[in-house]
Structure 1
Amino acid sequence: MDANGMRRGFEAGSARARLALGLGLAVMLALGAGVARAATDYRVELSGLPDDTTRGLVEETSELTTLKDKPPPSLTALRNRIRGDLDRIRLVLNAYGWFDATLDTSVNEEQKPVPVAIRVTPGQRYAVGALSIVDPGGVPLGAALAPPPGSLALKAGQPYEAQAVLDAEAAIIANLGRRGRPFAKVVHRDAVLDRAGRQVNIAWSIDYGPRASFGATSFEGLERLKDKAARALLRWREGDEVNIDQIEETRRAFVATGLFGTVGITTGQPGPDGAAPMLIRVTESKPRTIGGGLRYSTSDGPGARAFWEHRNLLGGRETLRITADVAQSGYSLDAKAKKPDFEWRDVDLVFEAKADREELDAYDLDAFSVGGGLEWRYSPQWFFSGGALFEQSHIDDGLTTEDYTLVGFPVVARRDTSNDVLDPTRGHRLTFSLTPYYDLAGTAGTFLIGQASAATYLPLDDAEDYVLALRGGIGATIGGSTYSLPANKRFYAGGGDSVRGFAYQAAGPLDDHSSPLGGKSLLTGAVEMRWRVTETIGIVPFVDFGSVFEDSIPDFGADLFMGAGLGLRYRSPIGPLRLDVATPIMGKRNSDDIIQIYISIGQAF
């Protein structure tokens, strides 16, 4: 055969081979599709788990349960799935001290769907036995390094949980980190079963590392913030024993300025003198922010607020915030400047100027005020402030038109343990304020205004889907009479932040033209049941009550105005969007609307 003939024969053979291969693949695919269609349906029954905790974890990790809608393609695959689940169940039981548990499996492969029954016999739960902490040489840690007595949550005799052992281990390392041993680490951990005593003896070998003190601190990434201002944020002193809590407090202090996108703190290896160099790496973010919000209520109509803020005006963390507010009832412009850590750490020097124009049912106001003082962040929960202010105002309350020149000295104390500014689900808030005023123009004389408010948030379930929120407020004025006081210094109730169901400032005495008169004292309260229906939707039934009074002290026996309603919450990335619809249920007059609607950002309190 010549070369051409050989080539033609080879090409023909190749064509036949390709055809055969294609037919073979088609058959395989068809058979595969048939196998896929012949999935092995099953039903599973799991019983005998000792408690809700283990049952919940098993159901979350079980492939028989989580993949039930995706049945395996064969009985062999089902057997593999069962074996995998038995291993996972055993791991869950061991993690909670059920080391002697037995697992019995029953499978009827002839029945369709295949019944799979797994029964657990948990046996006796093991307890925590002896605890020991030694160094790598086997020497027990001395009193200077061992955790303080009673500081570990893990105790001998309590039911064994693997997570509790890990938590105790972390507490041991953290305790060493607070005692000048920032490089402490676990060499190994032994958990030894004592089957006769039904307990687990736990031993840690800890390398506590070199003792270290805070050395020189250096920075990387500072651009706009001055070195001196950055060092003012340090919560440690050079030469002091290293304490990891102070390192974390410093990191939080840097983050709280809002000037940094990232903050990292590295403790270097100590030198011969024990001093560990500290390195703080930061990435600065933009110091300026522009923001705003919208609101609406039936009585006030729409409103808008916008602000501009600079958080590092002169390179020393100085803050300037300018806020403008516009609504149907008027407008205001406010400027507030703050110099942080003025002479003392966590004590800020503050100046503020504000111009107001309001046209309310209770009064018309044109005012300008300036003030200054000190703000002290005593702790993450406590805040104090005090200062002086000067206010010039022109007020028409429908009865008289007066000019006031007030000098005041406000003092505020606030405690806040809530877990979220806009949407708290636990904790409480307390605020106390006291301001003596003197009218230089002689119109209002001298008077003292005091006010206290409290709110608490009580989660009713572990997921915090149901939260009972309570609020109460009281106010009192000493000096003058209701009508000698400037109208904007009187107490009022009613509106979206007070007694919902009544118009702004209208939950109190009215004049002959149905305009609010205000009072010298105040009493308000609110109850909300916050129910998170989905991850983004919440429903809030509520009841508000309160009133204002002519006397300096509230009349606790008097009838109160009361409103009730239903709210809708949508949890957006900027906080919950609030829609409340309320109606008066006690104290309604002919001038009060039957429905009030409120729209804003954040919970009512």
Structure 2
Amino acid sequence: MQTKRRHHSPWYALWGTLCIGTAGAATPEIEFTGVSGELQLNLRSGLSLTTESCDAPKWRVNRLFRRAEQELDQAARALGYYQIKVEKELQFKEECWQASFTIDPGRPILLDRVDIRIEGEARDDPAFNKLLQETRVRPGGQLHHGRYERLKTQIETLAAERGYFDGLFSRRALQVDPAAGQADVTLHYRSGRRYHIGTLELDQHTYEPRLLERYQNIHSGDPYDAGELAALHRGLADSGYFELVSVKPDYEGAADGRINVRVQLEPIKRTAYRVGIGAATDTGPRLSLAYDRRRINRLGHRLQSKLTLSGVDSSLGLEYLIPMQRPHIDQLSIRAGYREQDTDTTTSDTATLGLRTLGKRNGWNETRYLDWISEESLIGDEITSATLLVPGINWTRTQADHRMRPNRGSRLNLELRGAHESLLSDASFVQILAAGKWVLPLGKGRLLLRTDTGMSLTPDFTDLPASYRFFAGGDQSVRGYEYQSLGPENASGDVVGGRYLVTGSVEYEYPIQGAWSAALFVDAGNAFDAWSDGIKRSAGIGLRWRSPVGPIRLDLAIPDDQSRDNFRIHFSMGPDL
């Protein structure tokens, strides 16, 4: 990015405040005194008068105002207040009408006798015991019709989920004595027997049955459990083998304590092609071509290949995937690839052969790998050639309330890798890498936090090729600086990469209109050989567009070190997490 003008303002002088005001039309005022919290909310929601506007006919407002006492009494009874007293006033002013209600709710009705029984096989079911322990319908509690109705629904729903299809309430009653300020609850549920799975049929002829058994935690003869059937559906849908998954219990045909379940499976198309076009400041225009052979045989073997072309980073990869049956291991991956990088700081050509196991452990995606690496790189004026045998392990976990537009979520990554000269390698080293990104709601916008760290332990750092050295700067690092332009320099002033990496970012994103948002951010970090080396900082503003293909970002960043650029413009695409 060319420098257009020199200035010496502090980097933090970029920040500003934008206030946009809008004028709203007059609205009716309905005021409640004497009540608050849930009771006030329920009284307001039960009042028909709240639906009327300022230009509503006077006769209609008067009619609804006369009806208000009856509506407020019903709304108060729903929360256990049976002795409510109301004083009300209605005024018609030039701009709009106003209503005020002074409420004396009286003492709430308390539950005296609560008799809740589960009879039949469900009496000893832990799920029902947990439900009854957690309910707020208990002696001494305040009468709440919503909780009472919800408990009835929860019992019936849980019975259906656990296979008690003959269950019914033998007694259900709520008796209120307003004069005494007490109420009695009686709920007797007769569950009958619990149904078991009769036949469990997976309707497909594409894959070997033993391949799909790995997704079954429920089998013929097991007690019916809707949760386990949902897990079966989820596992088959996420397997990548099927276009359509439908789990259908035969409720109408259930008899003699047995219910048959049929799982309809429609195989996914055998071959898929993908073409992608993108751009980013770090890599420039980017073209990707992918070919997936989703089904090579009945054992679920797959082949994936991808070609990525850009002026900075191009690669070709091939991966053969084999499903596994061992615990914590979903797939075995055999990989081969070639990558060519050409940045302003380094040029490298890397060939890779690798073996990986992919699986899950305690909610984390776990990858164990063994890679053979042959890399030749030019770093500054130094040529490095290295052959490495690198074992490693990686854990990744992503959690989000929404896949494309998370309002709350996180992505965490931890990796340990290394090599030793005694094991077919030209260098000895151990590296630890950790990265995290968090999205949190803040006011009307979102707070985005990001950090990347890395540490190398090696007796001779100069033996490491470019791909195992740390650099900072760029769209996903410290904005305001060119891609991989930050790090230790040699005598000629060329950036040669560092042993350590620490970068971080704080960003606030605020919606402005529709799919558009504005952002303010501060980035900091560097790659270095000693912890005493300086940290680079930048600050900036950005524009975000939530496009149909994912978020698109445009940032203007000002670095604190302006020896190269006064500012840089960054463009990037990709998910928030």
Tell me the TM-score normalised to structure 2 length.
0.81
Among candidates 394, 416, 436, match of residue 412 of structure 1 = 394
Q: Secondary structure at the match of 2:237?
A: helix
Counterpart of 1:364 in structure 2 is 347
Matches within 5 A, 1:233-382: 233-258=215-240, 259-261=242-244, 263-266=246-249, 268=251, 271-272=255-256, 274-282=257-265, 286=269, 291=274, 295-344=278-327, 347-379=330-362, 381-382=363-364
Percent identical pairs in the alignment equals 19
Counterpart of 2:536 in structure 1 is 561
1:354-374 deviation line (CA, Å, top 9, x unaligned): 221111122112222121221
Matches within 5 A, 1:426-445: 426-438=408-420, 444-445=426-427
Letter in 1 for 2:316: L
1:196-217 deviation line (CA, Å, top 9, x unaligned): 5645544333242421233321
Q: Secondary structure at the match of 1:64?
A: helix
Distance 1:582 1:108, change over 3 A: closer
1:567-595 deviation line (CA, Å, top 9, x unaligned): 3333344443333332213xx15124522
Distance 1:55 1:353, change over 3 A: farther
If asked which structure has higher relative contact order (CA below 8 Å, sep 6+), I would say 2
Distance 1:359 1:171, change over 3 A: same
CA distance in 2, matches of 1:112, 1:478: 75
Among candidates 538, 541, 544, match of residue 523 of structure 2 = 544
Matches within 5 A, 1:513-532: 515-532=494-511
Q: Secondary structure at the match of 2:262?
A: strand
Among candidates 183, 187, 195, match of residue 204 of structure 1 = 187
Counterpart of 2:9 in structure 1 is none
Give, in angstroms, the shift of residue 411 of structure 1.
0.8
Residue 68 (1) aligns with residue 47 (2): no
Give, in angstroms, the shift of residue 445 of structure 1.
1.9
CA distance in 1, matches of 2:369, 2:246: 34
Residue 590 (1) aligns with residue 569 (2): no
Matches within 5 A, 1:140-179: 142-144=123-125, 146-148=128-130, 151-154=133-136, 156=138, 157-158=140-141, 161-169=144-152, 171-173=154-156, 176=159
CA distance in 2, matches of 1:447, 1:510: 21
Question: Is contact 1:349–1:373 with CA below 8 Å preserved after alignment?
Answer: yes
Q: Secondary structure at the match of 2:235?
A: helix
Q: Secondary structure at the match of 1:205?
A: strand
Question: Is contact 2:28–2:54 with CA below 8 Å preserved after alignment?
Answer: no
Counterpart of 2:7 in structure 1 is none
Give, in angstroms, the shift of residue 490 of structure 1.
0.5
CA distance in 1, matches of 2:423, 2:381: 19
Question: Is contact 1:354–1:370 with CA below 8 Å preserved after alignment?
Answer: yes
Give, in angstroms, the shift of residue 450 of structure 1.
1.5
Among candidates 459, 463, 487, match of residue 441 of structure 2 = 459
Using the TM superposition, name which of 381-390 and 249-258 deviates more: 249-258
Give, in angstroms, the shift of residue 518 of structure 1.
0.9
Question: Is contact 2:430–2:458 with CA below 8 Å preserved after alignment?
Answer: yes
Count of residue pairs the alignment pairs up: 548
Question: Is contact 1:570–1:577 with CA below 8 Å preserved after alignment?
Answer: yes
CA distance in 2, matches of 1:468, 1:160: 41
Matches within 5 A, 1:108-119: 116-119=99-102
Counterpart of 1:16 in structure 2 is none
Among candidates 4, 23, 48, match of residue 33 of structure 2 = 48
Question: Is contact 1:407–1:440 with CA below 8 Å preserved after alignment?
Answer: no
Among candidates 468, 486, 489, match of residue 507 of structure 1 = 486
Distance 1:322 1:93, change over 3 A: farther
CA distance in 2, matches of 1:213, 1:281: 20
Give, in angstroms, the shift of residue 524 of structure 1.
2.1
Could you tell me which runs of 5 or more consecutive residues in structure 1 were left unpaired when the two chains were aligned: 1-40
Give, in angstroms, the shift of residue 322 of structure 1.
2.9
Q: Secondary structure at the match of 2:539?
A: strand
Give, in angstroms, the shift of residue 313 of structure 1.
4.5
Distance 1:115 1:548, change over 3 A: closer
CA distance in 2, matches of 1:584, 1:279: 62
Residue 385 (1) aligns with residue 367 (2): yes
Using the TM superposition, name which of 563-572 and 493-502 deviates more: 563-572
1:341-387 deviation line (CA, Å, top 9, x unaligned): 444475211222222111112211222212122112235x2222212
Give, in angstroms, the shift of residue 329 of structure 1.
0.9
CA distance in 1, matches of 2:300, 2:72: 55
Question: Is contact 1:128–1:159 with CA below 8 Å preserved after alignment?
Answer: yes
